[in-house]
Every structure is written in structure tokens, then in C-alpha cells.
Chain A
Amino acid sequence: MIHHTFRYDSPKTLAEAEGLLQSVPGSVIVAGGTDIVPLLKYDLIAPPALIAIGGIGESPMHRIEMKSGTLKIGAAVTLHALAEFARSNPRYRALRDCANAVASPQIRRTGTVGGNVLQQRRCYYYNQSAAWRSGIEPCFMTGGGICHQMPAKKSCQAIYYSDLAIPLAAMSAHANVFQNGAIKRYPILDCLGGGQPVRRGILVSFEMEELAPRDKLYFQKYALRNAIDFPIANGAVCLRDKGLQRSVRMFLGAMAPSPLRLAETEAAIALAKDRTALADLAITEARKQMHPIKEVGVPPKTKLQGLNIVRELLQEI
């Protein structure tokens, strides 16, 4: 049950949407609603207005385009539509695997690419109803001054669980954000979980270099269930092969407040070390960077086993 009332606007243009966003401070953009509505029901957000972008007319935010070596994925494209696109473009099979790894078929037909990347970080002290939270001190995310996960820390340690952000980061995607009547470009890592740039504008699309025939993109997700669950671990690796110029980007998710980039492993991949050595290196590198928190049903031992995801990813290379 949603306990508070709010205005609901359905603008027809991006400019109108931006105008509404600026005129009602604290208002929130809603697309599929699969992330926002649970937050509303749990009284975790209480915006004065919801601005629904589904009604915005012909716009790049609703399309997937491959043009001039650039792939643009609209923020309002559903996860199902992304999976269908990738089905007909086998080079992007990893995006299909990733989109299909999110939630459930019903949610994927409503939830959007933008919503998945902009989703808030999660923590079991935070993602609970107001009644559940009533017996405990408010945390950083609910107006208090403590992180129940790690009381000694000075900031929220909640984990970022997006699946889609991981391959997009591996592909060096940029976010196109509509701000002050124009599109501005930001690195995707600045926008995760609703970072500053998207708070001041409207996310329109993600843009990245197309995968060339010799490029490779791999994605893996581990969860205790094959549907609904947020990942215990997810990871992606993107290899771009331009003849003499080869590049590798590898990211792991669900391990810390933001995705982990395994830079040492990327360098070692370029040196073509054997897979077992690479995997051991990647696990060591990930363990140094990860900030595990208490998760329901995922004891530390299982979380650490999740790092074996890199073995499968590197096996693919």
C-alpha cells in the first residue's frame, strides 16, 4: 500500500518533462515503475510528484539504434525489448543473457534499461517497510547518521546490484542526459544508482561503440534462484580487437557500493596469461576491493564462492 499522495504527470516531450522536474523539487521520474513502486510502498521515498516518461512521443529514449558504429539503447526500452534486440543481433548475446537474468518475465516487460541502471543500492536494513524499520535508529539513507551494516563507517555501505550496468560499463557506455534543453554526455559510472548527472536531468539513452565482428562481450550472473533474485555476483568482460590495438574491460557487480573494475586482471588478459592464473588474479583483485555486507540468505562463504564467476567469464575468452 502506498501511504502518501503525490501528483502524477505524464508529459509529452522531454522539455515538458524537464520543466516539471524543475518546477516540483523532489519529483521523481518513473518509467516501468518496478523499482520506484516498491520504494513508495515501503515509504522509502515520498516524492511530491511522479513524472511518467512513458508518454513522451518519438524519442531516442524508446529506441535501440545501431548507426555509424554506435549503439544507442534508449533508457525507456524495456528489458524484454533489449533481450529481443540481442536475440536478433547475436554479437550482443551477452546483453540478452543479462536482460533475461533480471527479475522475471513479467517485470522485464515493464522494467526499463534506465530503471535497472538507476536503481538504488540495497541493504536489508533499508529495503524494509516503515513498520519494520520503526524499531531501529534511522540510517544514512533514512535521515539518520549510521550505517547498520558497518557502524564504524561514515557513509552508507549498501550494495549496488544492477545487472545491466555491468556489461554497459564493460563496453565503456556513456549516458546521454537531457539537461537544460540539450543532451549532455556522462560516463555511465557517474550515473549508477541515480548519480548526480541524472538527478539534474532526464536519462535518455546509453551510447557505446558497436561491437565489431572480432570484439567479444561476456556476462555471467550468479543468484540462488533463476528468477527474481538480485545477484550474489555478476560480471562482464568486453574485449575490443582493432588489430594492433586491443583493449579489455572487466567489471564485477554486487560486491560493493559500485561495480568493481578489475584493472590488473585486464592488463594480465592483454598479456595472454593462462586462464587459471588469470582467474586467481581476478579473485585476489576482487577480494581486495569488495565491501561485502550482510545479505539475507547469503552467508560470507557463499558470497566468496560467488567470486568464482570470474572463472566462467575468463573461460569464455
Chain B
Amino acid sequence: MLNNGYQTVGTDTPRLESWEKVTGRGRYTDDCKLPNMAYGAILHSPHAHARVLAIDVQQALELTGVIAVLLPEEVREIVYNSSGNPPSDLLPKDEHILTDTPLFAGDRVLAVAAESPLLCEKALSLIQVTYEKLPAVLDIAGALRKGAAALHPEVSPTNLAGTVAIDYGDVEQAMRDADILVEDTFYTPAIAPVSMEPAGCICDYRANGEITVIGTSQTVFQDRRLIAQMAQLPENKVRVVKPLMGGGFGARQQLHHQPVGVWLSKKIGRPVKMIFTREQENLATTVRHAAQIKMRIGANRDGNIVAVDVEAHHDTGAYATHGLLVLSSQSKKMIYHAENYRYRGHCVYTNNVTAGAMRGYGNPQLTFAREVLMNRLAKKLSMDPVELRLKNIVKTGDVIRGTETGINSCELRACAVEAEKIRQSLIRQYRRPGEREEDNWGVAFTMHTTGPSGKTGLSSAVITVNGDGSVHLKTGSADIGQGSETVFAQIAAEILGIDLSRITVTAADTAVTPYDTGTFASSQTFVGGNAVVLAAKDVLKKLREVNGEEPTDFAAAVKKAFRANPAGVIIGTASYQATDAPPAFAVCWARMVRDPLTGFLETTDIIETVDCGTVMNRNTVRGQIEGGVLQGLGYGQMEQMQCDSRTNKPTTSDLVHYRIPTAADTPHIHSLAVQSYELSGPLGAKSIGELTLVPVAAAMANCTESITGEKINGLPLSNKYMVRCAKGEDA
């Protein structure tokens, strides 16, 4: 990993917040408390589809310490889309704060406020709800079957919430003319984001008509807009604050229980804290869309791809949330250039747990299907799978289908070369006489945009300069654990030429920090970082204007500005509107072995090389790759939301039943960032956040096909094989 000669950028700088986190002094949502605060809890539907016939709250209200119950009829008029995206026609409003027609097992029926979390639980257990169970549809085919009852007739007369379409050329003709055709249908499961910190909020609706929400959020300004709209208040009357956060992975890019908390608070006239349990986190927030993807690739004998046809169906669960935007984003991830490209993405309502934004935003599903088919195409063509990919891969100057801007930087070939070097050294290490070590490997290529592909990224920064030359950086961008505040400080330090210790960052508080679209789409370094670059340059410009000279020593220049006549307080401000969403790239190899005695598969190594532009912080990039690889491994190997056919209830309610890889399941991870520079990026940076998980499952699937000779059309692999990670001593 190279740092392009920067002083602060590209170093191993530890996170600014590390000390407070590791010493337990950091304040997460559950550490916050407001005066006279009460607690709230939600009664979730135990049925996948039902109608509430009666609610008896008498016993609960008689319990000392129970303050109030909020019922669906009290908030019936408010209909919204919970997505934390900027407004879009692709975000149908179909969700209520509480409902008396629950559409999934986990839907919000009512809420209680009490003096303690325990009293809330007791109150919920005393409330009698009489349900009429209704037929539930739990798969895409069932939901689209003729005659299936529409979950949201106000949005669509069927369970098809909408379709995203892209067309280039004549796909059917090109397929007929192609020498070779590969096609298949692939299935990927819904999976849970599993942030270590469950969703939490403290909501305070004061009598003067002002609302404060302190909570887990990736998009404080979108949350503010949504809550203001729901409460019919101007945005200046709503404040959303994000304390430290233990992960988001997309799930915090939408409202979960915040509206319930706000209206409970309004009802009782006191602040209300609500912290989800792990069960609520798994079953009543959002998951990655389960997908069914039918794909065809047509190619000539020389390996040139002539046509790609994708028909995707995504299970959005009970509510649309991000569903159509996820499909829109997925449609723009065709990494191989094809003259003829057709994409159809269908967003389908079912009575499953609601799907929403999750790391990858449609890309992991598509990459799995595409990369498995690419390997099969290579086999049909008797070509090396990497050679086939490199022959068709987009290059600098190309425009990815569905997008408008040409690629500025693409070092995929370098990623492939570096990955192969690592692989060859491992092959030498692992090779045993009489065994074909090469069969134990599977490859996948991928890309992920930097910032929203719809170019809705907008951020701003304010840098206030103190008399001693230290600075205070304010940004609306939310650090959810990925380390963006540290990277912003590094950028400001680099531009201003000061030490990192001279910078304090305040972020993601709508009352004191300037607007940022939100932490999603791997955009923080790029969109927020560009705003910081511009704000820092604005500081230097203002110093120049006040002092009448180029600042060479920052502290001395500041001192001079403060003493100048007329003196000047230096405040740098800037906003940045993304005009581009430059793709970052990755090449991933997975190594698995099969036990000859038992037939069991073991994952031993994952190689991932990335082109993320300038490496801003080596620790962070390494961490993103390792974390992404593990999340990708979970997707490939073991993770899935599972629903019981007898009860129509999801069974993956806790972290015993919902398996994510543990530290003991970590294969050897070999990571490398190749040298790259993105012209539109802050100091040459692109994204790293989502990219890293995307290709892993596909590489593992290709590896498994190579080892077993069987087609892998679905994830996770554990549905078909006994598969695990190589075990260390005393795991």
C-alpha cells in the first residue's frame, strides 16, 4: 500500500476515537440519558400476516410504572417510506408507524412507555391482542402467483412493487448470433447485517414543538427530513444526533423505531429511550434482499462477450423501503463490457422480514450470478477464467452500462496481477505430490461505485480555526465505526499542513454540523472528503486574503491573521456535490479443500486485491478488507435468514440460530491495495467500504464448482455441503 508521498494521508494512523472506545468512555446511544427519561418498547406481530381484531391494554396500564400505550389508530394518518435516501420516485410510501394489519412476523403493532425497560416488557406481556391470521406469501413465486392478495394495493394491484429496466442494443439478436451461451438461475438468501450495537434511540418531543432524536443513524439529515415531514414541522425544529455507533452496514440508513419513540414521547411529554434486543435487531429491522437472478451471457469463440441479459427478482419483504433503488444500483454493476445489455429488476412484496439497504446494495447478489457464469463460460471456451475476465473488463475511459460518466481510474489488471503473485506463492506452499492444487481455487472480479450511483451525494464541511492554529472540523457525515472522522482529519491535516493532534472533529449532529447526504454507498471518503478538501482550501484562501500572503507556516499565519488590522476569524466552508461515482475494483481468490475421507469442504485462504485509489489510512483499508472478506465469507458459507414453514416465523432470532463467522472461523486473509489515483477523488481516493465483501461468495462458489464438479446455483454453501473454515488450535 503506497501513500503517494503524503505526510498524514496513507499512514497507519489509529482511529481518533480508539481511546474512548477501548477504555469504555465512549458514549453510545444506550450510554446517553436525558432528564426525566422514560423507556419504550414495541409489541411486534407474532404472525406473518394478520388482522388485529382487538387490543386490551387494561392490565398493562394498571401496572405501577407503566405510563402509556400507543396504538395504531393514534398514528394511522402517517404513511412514509423509511429509507434514508434523498427523496426519489423509487421510494413508494407504504409503511405506518404502527399497524393493525401486520404484514410480517416482526411488524410493529403497538408500543408502551414505562419507567424502566423491565416494566415495558412486563406491560407488553399483559397486553392482550386478538389476531385473525391471514394467508401469508413467503416466496417470490407465491407472491407473484395469479390471484395472490396484494400486500399494498395502494402501491400496486399485485405484489410487484416496481420494475427497473435498462436496455442497450438488441439482446435477443445478439444471443442468437453468439457462438457460446451460458445461462442459469441463481438464488441468494436474505441475510442480516448484524451490527454489534443494536438499533437504539432517545426521542424527545417537547411541548414547544421541537424534537430531538439521539440514536443510531447513518443518515441524520435524511432522518431529520423524514421526521419533520411526519410531524409536519420545519426541519429547524428537529434535531438528530448520532453518538458513537457500533456498525450500520446499511441497516441504519433507514428509520426503524425512531418514529415510534417520537410519538410515544409526544404522548407522554417526556423523552423516551428505546433499545432493540438482538431478536428485534434480527427480525424487526432490515435484511439484505433475497434474490432470484436469471442471467444469460453470450460470447464469441474468441471470448468477447456480446450480450448480457439479467432478470432479477428481489424479495423486499413487507415494505418497499430501498427495494427499487437497490435494483437500480444493481443494474449498474455490469463490470464486463457488452454491446447488448438488458436488465430487468423486479421488486416483490412478501410477508417476510423487510429488506432494505445492506452493504453491497444489490451488488453481492448480481456478482455471485455473474461471476459463476463467467467461470462456466471460460470452461466452455477452454479459456483461463482470469484471461476471459481481463479480455472483457471495463477499462479507463469506458462507461459502465447504466451510468453516464467515463471511468477515470481502473487498475483491475494490476489487481489481477498482484492477486496472482500471492496465489502462486501459496500454491507453492500448499502443493502436495499427486494433487492438483490449482483445482482448489476460485476467482471473482468486482467493482463498486464510490458514492451513490445516482450522483445524489452532497456534503459540506466547516473548519473553524482557533487562535493557536488548531482547528475544529464540523461535518454532517456520520462515522458509524468505519473510521471516516479519522480520514477527514487526515485530509484536513494534509491540506493545512498541520499535525493530526491539532484537529478536532464534530460530526453528524443536525443542529451543529452542516448537511451531508448520509453514510451510504461507500461515499464518505469521496463525497465528505471532497467537501473537507474544499473547506481546508477555503481556510488557506481566507488566510491569504487576510494576511495578503501565501501561508507557509499555518500556525504563524493564523496568529498573524488574528492580529491583522482588520483582524479576521478564519472559517473555511465548502459544499461538494458529487458529479461522479467512480468505481473501485477488486479481485478475489478463495482457496478451499475437500477432505478425501469425509468429503467436507474447508475454506483456508482468501486473497483480495483492491483498487481504491489513494489509500487514505492503511489500518482502515486493511480493516475494511478483512471485515468485508469475513462478511462475504459468511454470505458464501453459512448466513441466511430462515423461516419456519409450520409457523411462518423467522427462526434466526439470535446469534446462536443466525450464524455469522466468529474469530475462530477466519481463514488466512491476504490483502493488498494496488497503486491508483482517482482524479475526482479527494487526494486521489475512491471507495473501499462495500467493495470488499462483494466478490467473496462468488469466488467461494467457483472454488466449490471446481472441487466438486457440481453446479453451485445458490447460497450459502452450507445448504448443500458440510463446509467450514480451517480450524486453528483451541478455537
Interface residues of A (CB under 8 A from B): 1, 3, 83, 100, 104-105, 124-125, 127-132, 134-136, 148, 222-230, 232, 294, 296-299, 301-302, 305-306, 308-309, 311-312, 315
Q: How far is the CA of A222 from the CA of B663 in the complex (A)?
A: 17
Q: Which residues in B have their C-beta under 8 angstroms from that of A127?
A: 656-657
B181: shortest Cβ distance to chain A, in Å? 30
Q: Which residues in A have their C-beta under 8 angstroms from that of B124?
A: 131
* Interface members, chain B 104-159 (any A CB < 8 Å): 105, 117-118, 121-122, 124-125, 131
A136-B722 CB under 8 A given contacts A224-B659, A227-B731: no
- The listed residue (A129, A224, A312) touching B598 by CB distance below 8 A is A312
Cβ–Cβ contact A232 & B722, under 8 A: yes
Q: Which residues in B have their C-beta under 8 angstroms from that of A226?
A: 662, 664-665, 724-725, 727-728, 731
A224-B279 CB under 8 A given contacts A3-B122, A124-B644, A232-B722: no
Q: Which residues in A have their C-beta under 8 angstroms from that of B663?
A: 227
Cβ–Cβ contact B600 & A131, under 8 A: no
Q: Decide if B597 is an interface residue (CB 8 Å cutoff).
A: yes
- How many chain B residues touch A (Cβ–Cβ < 8 Å)? 51
* Interface members, chain B 672-731 (any A CB < 8 Å): 718-725, 727-728, 730-731
A228-B656 CB under 8 A given contacts A131-B46, A132-B46, A135-B47: yes
Cβ–Cβ contact B656 & A224, under 8 A: no
Cβ–Cβ contact B722 & A1, under 8 A: no
Cβ–Cβ contact A131 & B647, under 8 A: no
Q: Which residues in A have their C-beta under 8 angstroms from that of B121?
A: 1, 3
Cβ–Cβ contact B638 & A1, under 8 A: no
Q: Which residues in B have their C-beta under 8 angstroms from that of A100?
A: 730-731
Q: Which residues in A have their C-beta under 8 angstroms from that of B72?
A: none
5 contacts between A and B (CB under 8 A): A125-B644, A127-B656, A225-B662, A297-B657, A302-B722
Further pairs besides A225-B665, A297-B642: 20, Cβ < 8 Å: A1-B118, A3-B118, A104-B664, A127-B656, A128-B653, A129-B277, A131-B279, A132-B279, A136-B46, A136-B649, A222-B600, A223-B724, A227-B664, A228-B656, A297-B638, A298-B718, A302-B721, A305-B598, A308-B722, A315-B597
Q: Which residues in A have their C-beta under 8 angstroms from that of B234?
A: none
Q: Decide if B661 is an interface residue (CB 8 Å cutoff).
A: yes
Task: Select from chain A the residue with minimum beta-carbon distance to B639.
Answer: A297
Q: Decide if B640 is an interface residue (CB 8 Å cutoff).
A: yes
- The listed residue (B279, B661, B662) touching A129 by CB distance below 8 A is B279
Q: How far is the CA of A223 from the CA of B657 in the complex (A)?
A: 13
Q: Which residues in B have their C-beta under 8 angstroms from that of A104?
A: 662, 664
Q: Which residues in B have their C-beta under 8 angstroms from that of A130?
A: 125
Cβ–Cβ contact B657 & A124, under 8 A: yes
Interface centre among B46, B131, B652, B656 (most CB of A within 10 A): B656
Q: How far is the CA of A309 from the CA of B598 in the complex (A)?
A: 7
- The listed residue (A3, A148, A296, A306) touching B722 by CB distance below 8 A is A306
Q: Decide if B513 is an interface residue (CB 8 Å cutoff).
A: no
Would you call the interface of chain A mostly helix, strand, loop, or mixed?
Answer: loop
Cβ–Cβ contact B46 & A229, under 8 A: no
Q: Decide if B395 is an interface residue (CB 8 Å cutoff).
A: no
Q: How far is the CA of A134 from the CA of B45 in the complex (A)?
A: 9
Interface residues of B (CB under 8 A from A): 44-47, 105, 117-118, 121-122, 124-125, 131, 277, 279, 597-600, 637-638, 640, 642, 644, 646-647, 649, 651-653, 655-659, 661-665, 718-725, 727-728, 730-731
Q: Which residues in A have their C-beta under 8 angstroms from that of B122?
A: 3
Cβ–Cβ contact B597 & A312, under 8 A: yes
Q: Which residues in A have their C-beta under 8 angstroms from that of B653?
A: 128-129, 132
- The listed residue (A297, A308, A315) touching B600 by CB distance below 8 A is A308
Cβ–Cβ contact B642 & A296, under 8 A: yes
Q: How far is the CA of A1 from the CA of B39 in the complex (A)?
A: 14
A1-B665 CB under 8 A given contacts A148-B646, A305-B721: no
Q: How far is the CA of A241 from the CA of B658 in the complex (A)?
A: 44
Q: How far is the CA of A131 from the CA of B637 in the complex (A)?
A: 30
Task: Select from chain B the residue with minimum beta-carbon distance to A99.
Answer: B730
Interface centre among A127, A134, A226, A315 (most CB of B within 10 A): A226
The list of the 9 closest CB pairs from A to B, nearest first, reads A135-B46, A226-B664, A226-B731, A308-B598, A227-B664, A305-B722, A227-B662, A296-B657, A226-B727
Q: Which residues in B have their C-beta under 8 angstroms from that of A308?
A: 597-600, 722
B497: shortest Cβ distance to chain A, in Å? 46
Q: How far is the CA of A232 from the CA of B598 in the complex (A)?
A: 14
Q: Which residues in A have their C-beta under 8 angstroms from that of B662?
A: 104, 225-228
Q: How far is the CA of A104 from the CA of B651 in the complex (A)?
A: 22
Q: How far is the CA of A132 from the CA of B656 in the complex (A)?
A: 15
Q: Which residues in A have their C-beta under 8 angstroms from that of B718?
A: 224, 297-298, 302
Cβ–Cβ contact B647 & A296, under 8 A: no
Interface centre among A130, A136, A225, A301 (most CB of B within 10 A): A225
Q: How far is the CA of A105 from the CA of B664 in the complex (A)?
A: 10
Cβ–Cβ contact A136 & B647, under 8 A: yes
Cβ–Cβ contact A224 & B597, under 8 A: no
Q: Which residues in B have their C-beta under 8 angstroms from that of A135?
A: 45-47, 105, 131, 647, 649
Q: Which residues in A have their C-beta under 8 angstroms from that of B47?
A: 135
Cβ–Cβ contact B117 & A1, under 8 A: yes
B25: shortest Cβ distance to chain A, in Å? 23
B506: shortest Cβ distance to chain A, in Å? 34
Cβ–Cβ contact B599 & A229, under 8 A: no
Q: How far is the CA of A130 from the CA of B121 in the complex (A)?
A: 10
- The listed residue (A83, A134, A305, A312) touching B46 by CB distance below 8 A is A134
Cβ–Cβ contact A225 & B664, under 8 A: yes
Q: How far is the CA of A309 from the CA of B661 in the complex (A)?
A: 22
Q: How far is the CA of A129 from the CA of B642 in the complex (A)?
A: 17
Q: Which residues in B have their C-beta under 8 angstroms from that of A129?
A: 277, 279, 653
Task: Select from chain B the residue with minimum beta-carbon distance to A220.
Answer: B598
Q: How far is the CA of A228 from the CA of B655 in the complex (A)?
A: 9
Q: Which residues in B have their C-beta under 8 angstroms from that of A232?
A: 722
Q: How far is the CA of A160 from the CA of B653 in the complex (A)?
A: 20
Q: How far is the CA of A301 from the CA of B710 in the complex (A)?
A: 15
Q: Which residues in A have their C-beta under 8 angstroms from that of B131?
A: 135
A306: shortest Cβ distance to chain B, in Å? 6
Q: How far is the CA of A232 from the CA of B724 in the complex (A)?
A: 12
Q: How far is the CA of A131 from the CA of B43 in the complex (A)?
A: 8
Q: Which residues in B have their C-beta under 8 angstroms from that of A305?
A: 598-600, 721-722
Task: Select from chain B the residue with minimum beta-carbon distance to A151.
Answer: B646
B546: shortest Cβ distance to chain A, in Å? 58
Q: Which residues in A have their C-beta under 8 angstroms from that of B655?
A: 228
A225-B659 CB under 8 A given contacts A3-B118, A135-B47, A297-B638: yes
A130: shortest Cβ distance to chain B, in Å? 7
A296-B652 CB under 8 A given contacts A130-B125, A131-B279: yes
Q: Which residues in B have their C-beta under 8 angstroms from that of A83?
A: 730
Q: How far is the CA of A130 from the CA of B125 in the complex (A)?
A: 9
- The listed residue (A136, A225, A230) touching B661 by CB distance below 8 A is A225
B261: shortest Cβ distance to chain A, in Å? 18
A275: shortest Cβ distance to chain B, in Å? 10
Q: Which residues in B have their C-beta under 8 angstroms from that of A229?
A: 656, 659
B708: shortest Cβ distance to chain A, in Å? 12
Q: How far is the CA of A299 from the CA of B651 in the complex (A)?
A: 14
Q: Which residues in A have their C-beta under 8 angstroms from that of B722?
A: 222, 232, 302, 305-306, 308
Cβ–Cβ contact A225 & B724, under 8 A: yes
A223: shortest Cβ distance to chain B, in Å? 7
Q: How far is the CA of A296 from the CA of B657 in the complex (A)?
A: 6
Cβ–Cβ contact A225 & B638, under 8 A: yes
B633: shortest Cβ distance to chain A, in Å? 11
Q: How far is the CA of A311 from the CA of B646 in the complex (A)?
A: 35
B123: shortest Cβ distance to chain A, in Å? 11
Q: Which residues in B have their C-beta under 8 angstroms from that of A312?
A: 597-598
B640: shortest Cβ distance to chain A, in Å? 7
Q: How far is the CA of A131 from the CA of B721 in the complex (A)?
A: 33
A297-B118 CB under 8 A given contacts A131-B46, A136-B649, A302-B718: no
A74: shortest Cβ distance to chain B, in Å? 22
B190: shortest Cβ distance to chain A, in Å? 13
Q: Which residues in A have their C-beta under 8 angstroms from that of B659?
A: 224-225, 229, 297
